[in-house]
Amino acid sequence: MFYRLCTFNKGLLIPGRGLTQGSQDPKEQGPLHIHEVRVKLREIVGASTNWRDHVKAVEERKLLHGFLAKSQEGLPPRRMKDSYTEVLLPLGGQPELREKYLTVQNTVRFGRILEDLDSLGVLICYKHSKIQAAQRSPLSIVTALVDKIDMCKKSISPEQDIKFSGHVSWVGKTSMEVKMQMLQLHGDEYTPVLGATFVMVARDSENKGPAFVNPLLIESPEEEELFAQGELNKGRRIAFSSTSLLKVAPSAEERTTIHEMFLNTLDSKTISFRSRVLPPNAVWMEDSKLKSLLVCHPQERNIFNRIFGGFLMRKAYELAWATACSFGGSRPFVVAVDDIMFQKPVEVGSLLFLSSQVCFTQDNYIQVRVHSEVASLQSKEHTTTNVFHFTFMSEKEVPLVFPKTYGESMLYLDGKRHFNSWAPVNLMTKNYLVEP
């Protein structure tokens, strides 16, 4: 990971190559302040800061349906540089802002960074799909997937300024891939901290159906390579979904793995399939769980009056970190986030249930899965909204985790697949230190 992402020229176009802030407004040529991102998003869609006015705001957005394109061909192509955006998080110069991002270990809260990335990704997509004739955007752009977030920095200081940047790198009919990077000031220059790939989808004014987005105009071999990578990412996601353990049986190799683990837990004294014992330095999967419950208040709503996706990611990450910390017995450091699916929006007022579980371990690495579901205050029915996958590195070697049931065995294999999708390149280095 460190080897791949600390050469950002392969994953994101940068200003040094002629890519500049997308807006033509001279006031917007410099980096935005982090607090301006949410302000601009509210202006773009006409969202109110007053919860009591949200019904009125939704009614007003119905009037924007006439600005929606009937086909993608009716929209002007946009360049990658048109959506390029820089955002400054001035931790070094604003101690009062630093408190919001500070951990007790004097590092930066990674959950807060997830929130900022989510907001920036949405703003970038609104820049790409801006309609000049409309004062407010008729599109409802929402996060569909966090494809990957890779760390390449040993630590994030709470006392140095941070800069985010990103742009649209691939476009489908109604979806957009956004590549972003985060850098931190060291001396006189910014150095890479992480790279992120998000997928956003465009919906109509009321967020009820898909809407077309502007096609992407490719202007250089580098941009062509980025766009081709977006196509590969899409194909990889489709292939991964088609082989999901929820749809097809495990491979022969995976079945052998599970059977060997089962045999390793049989009690040789009883010679019985029902008598199970743990091998040395091992933990049952069922004993690696943590759960939490949140009441979804209006304070955490997004510009469409649903619960902010970044808030959900932050809460899921913090629970996952606590799970990895409890399991490993030392402070874990996040090294990768991938395949976060936003399957269903979370309504304000819902009860949000988060369940975190260690599903795979290797050496000092811990793979944690967080399952999110909601229950309305009027019914007891639970609905899955998100599934999160986090890879942590512990300060010391951690126990092996063993499944007991077939369902846990599938979780184990799924966790192993997610870990292996990251591990082949990234185990070259262990220079990670990012805490919640």
Q: What is the DSSP string of 77-103?
A: -EEHHHH-EEEEE-TTT-HHHHHHHB-
Higher pLDDT, 170 or 340: 170
Domain count of the fold of the chain: 2
Specify whether 104 is located in the same domain as 202. Answer: yes
Residue 296 and residue 234 share a domain: no
Together in a domain, 212 and 64: yes
Q: How confident is the model at residue 361 (pLDDT cuts 50, 70, 90)?
A: very high
Indicate the Cα dihedral angle 163, 135, 131, 34, nearest 10°. Answer: 10
Same domain for 155 and 281, yes or no, is no
Q: Mean of the per-residue pLDDT values for the chain? A: 85
**Would you call 209 helix, strand, or coil by DSSP?**
coil
Residue 10 forms part of a structural domain: no
pLDDT in tens, 234-260: 998 888 888 888 888 989 999 999 999
Top pLDDT among 184 and 344 is at 184
Regarding whether 184 and 266 lie in a shared domain, the answer is: no
Q: Is residue 3 part of a domain?
A: no
Using CA atoms, how far apart are residues 428 and 5, in angstroms rounded to an integer? 12
Q: Position 346: which residue type?
A: V
Q: What is the pLDDT of residue 221?
A: 94
The answer to whether residue 43 is domain-embedded is yes
Per the document, the length of the chain is 436
Q: Which domain holds residue 351?
A: 252-422
Do residues 86 and 145 share a domain? yes
Residue of higher predicted confidence among 346 and 357:
357
Residues 48 and 191 in one domain: yes
Quick check: 297 pLDDT over 80? yes
Instruction: Check pLDDT > 70 for residue 18.
Output: no
Please report whether residue 13 resides in a domain: no
Domain boundary among 243, 269, 295: 243
Residue type at position 12: L
Interstrand relation of 216-217 and 78-79 (parallel, antiparallel or unpaired): parallel
Residue 413 within a domain: yes
Q: Is 50 exceeded by the pLDDT of residue 8?
A: no
Which has more pLDDT, 79 or 7?
79
